[in-house]
């Protein structure tokens, strides 16, 4: 009888020990689980330095900007440096008036541009407007959709090569492409076909960007469509100061809402020949 009682007591003690061990394991597991739950670090916790390479056509060069500071870029730089998440933003402007997509590709192949793209956190592009205007000029007396379709294929291939070139030089760079707008909408509203053509080209650009990680599209055509204000320079083609300011606002929105979240904090920028390193 005593032996049976002792045997039962030992079994109960063993079960109690196992139960205690299991509870400890659960408690320990819960502690580990709680330790792994971390809040996302705010974007402005470590203000970063940014290096931005701007390439493309007259919109990057800043034609129509009365201050001759570089179109939308100074507005964008000022907006970024007001952000708590940005300590310093350094811009390099390689915009060339009249550049088409094939000419941009050649520009990206120069050592001057490659050296900047290598260290750039972001590459911002304006291109395509002169590709469209090439068709208009060459077929002014007999404009047909077929001519635009043929040139669009060339543009698409050039854009693909532009993206490949940038990614080859700097695989980690974020690429921002600013879309096309219709400068003739206000003054030549009867040319409705051109609006559809530009929408088609913007759609083609977005489809290409979707193939590449770390690329972003900035839509600006609605800025010039949905307003009674004059946003064009005296040539009725390029943006004026207000137009550039609004473009910068749209680019800034994309950068802060999407792009900056994907850029690592420990980056290096350069100002006046001196390296600025975040720690």
pLDDT of residue 217: 98
Which domains are delineated in the chain? 48-266 (3.40.50.1110)
pLDDT of residue 183: 87
pLDDT of residue 192: 67
Residue 212 has phi, psi (to 5 degrees) of: -120, 125
The secondary structure element, H or E, covering residue 206 is helix 192-209
CA–CA dist 218, 76 (Å, integer): 13
Q: Pull the structure tokens for residue 256.
A: 């802060």
pLDDT of residue 93: 98
CA–CA dist 185, 278 (Å, integer): 46
Contact status, residue 53 vs residue 123, Cβ threshold 8 Å: yes
CA–CA dist 239, 232 (Å, integer): 4
How many Cα atoms sit within 13 Å of 138 on the Cβ side? Answer: 12
Q: Please report, in tens digits, the pLDDT of each residue of the chain (279 residues total).
A: 434 434 343 444 344 444 444 444 444 445 444 544 445 555 555 678 899 999 999 999 999 999 989 999 999 999 998 998 898 999 999 999 999 999 999 999 999 999 999 999 999 999 999 999 998 888 766 667 778 888 999 999 999 999 999 999 999 999 999 999 998 776 655 566 788 899 999 999 999 999 999 999 999 999 998 888 999 999 989 999 999 999 999 999 999 999 999 887 644 545 544 433 332
> 177, 178, 179, 226: which is closest to 202 by C-alpha?
179
pLDDT of residue 41: 56
pLDDT of residue 194: 81
DSSP-based three-state secondary structure for 80: helix
């Amino acid at each position: 009888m005593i032996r049976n009682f002792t045997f039962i007591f030992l079994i109960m003690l063993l079960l109690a020990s196992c139960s205690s061990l299991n509870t400890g394991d659960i408690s320990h597991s819960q502690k580990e689980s709680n330790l792994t739950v971390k809040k996302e670090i705010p974007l402005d916790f470590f203000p970063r330095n940014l290096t931005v390479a701007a390439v493309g056509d007259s919109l990057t060069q800043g034609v129509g900007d009365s201050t001759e500071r570089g179109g939308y870029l100074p507005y964008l730089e000022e907006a970024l440096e007001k952000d708590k998440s940005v300590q310093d933003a350094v811009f390099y402007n390689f915009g060339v008036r009249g550049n088409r997509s094939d000419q941009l590709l050649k520009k990206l192949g120069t050592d001057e541009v490659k050296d900047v793209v290598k260290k750039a956190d972001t590459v911002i592009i304006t291109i395509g407007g002169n590709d469209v205007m090439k068709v208009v000029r060459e077929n002014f007396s007999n404009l047909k959709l077929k001519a635009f379709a043929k040139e669009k294929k060339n543009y698409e291939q050039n854009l693909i090569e532009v993206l490949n070139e940038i990614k080859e030089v700097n695989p980690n760079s974020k690429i921002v492409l600013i879309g096309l707008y219709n400068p003739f909408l206000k003054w030549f509203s009867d040319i409705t076909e051109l609006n559809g053509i530009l929408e088609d080209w913007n759609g083609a650009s977005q489809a290409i960007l979707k193939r590449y990680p770390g690329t972003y599209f900035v839509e600006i055509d609605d800025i010039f469509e949905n307003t009674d204000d004059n946003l064009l320079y005296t040539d009725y083609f390029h943006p004026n100061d207000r137009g550039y300011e609004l473009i910068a606002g749209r680019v800034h929105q994309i950068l802060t809402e999407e792009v900056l979240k994907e850029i690592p904090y420990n980056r290096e920028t350069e100002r006046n020949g001196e390296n600025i390193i975040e720690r």
